[in-house]
Amino acid sequence: MVYQRVEDIPKEKLPVHIGLIMDGNGRWAAVRGLPRNAGHKKGTDTFGKLMKHCREIGIKYVTVYAFSTENWKRPKEEVDALMGLLRNYLEDTFKHQEEDARICFLGDREPLSEDIKQKIQKVEEASRRNTAITINIALNYGGRDEIVHAVKALAHKCMQGELSLGQIDEEMVSNHLYTAGQPDPDLIIRPSGEYRLSNFLTWQSAYSELVFLNVLWPDFTPADLDMAILEYEKRDRRFGGI
């Protein structure tokens, strides 16, 4: 059956976990003659609207690519502005606990400033019992870096005699990733006209359906998300079978 509206799709057929690569903020600003930071600010507004929409239509997990391990190469002014937006988001999150969203952060926190690390910890703790939707924010995140992190953790357990090489399997590796305990993404959406994953959820995306849209992230709307979900619904997911 081909569905015309997301509202018509039975809840059990919706993607459980959606990944979103929030790309195109700088280009959005450039075509308008604005500083790149204006694009990032607009992008955070889009993020808020999209998370509300995901919760309303019944998506249980969303992972957004907010800041990659490579993004530190950007000009200091831009990085500082992005961290400022993050601080604002963390402060605002405390005001919206009635939305019943669990907030998790994926990535290496060590390079982050101490105040941001403390705010992240408080937000995660305050929201950990919320159940309507889990929002993963990939911050200082890289898919390959995540796998290396997991491999090192497993190697350490082997060295300590806690497990043997023969015990290591795909499930064990998954359980040592930042997304441990969560389902892999069914659908990954990248706006902005780019056609690559850019080191996003490298392990978890093995069987994800990919949808690429030619719209910059600040202009991305709930209607665009619905269009991607309708495209996902048309796919025949065989996971290597017939």
**Active-site residue, selected from the candidate residues 71, 130, 175, 199:** 71
CA-closest candidate to residue 13, choices 208, 240, 186, 184: 186
**Active-site residue, selected from the candidate residues 8, 23, 80, 145:** 23
161: left (phi over 0), alpha (psi -120 to 50) or beta: left
Cβ–Cβ under 8 Å, residues 119 and 87 = yes
Partnered with residue 216 across adjacent β-strands are none
The neighbour count for residue 223, using CB atoms within 10 Å, is: 10
Annotation: binding site for Mg(2+): 23, 209
DSSP 3-state of 183: coil
Partnered with residue 104 across adjacent β-strands are 136
Dihedral sign, Cα of residue 19, residue 146, residue 143, residue 24: positive
Pairing of strands 17-21, 133-141: unpaired
Annotation: binding site: 23-28, 36, 40, 68-70, 72, 74, 190, 196-198, 209
Alpha-carbon span 131 to 18, nearest angstrom: 16
Annotation: binding site for substrate: 24-28, 36, 40, 68-70, 72, 74, 190, 196-198
Does residue 23 carry a catalytic annotation?
Answer: yes
Cβ–Cβ under 8 Å, residues 65 and 20 = yes
Helices (H), strands (E): how many in the chain?
A: 7, 6
> Would you please indicate which residues are annotated as catalytic (active-site) residues?
23, 71
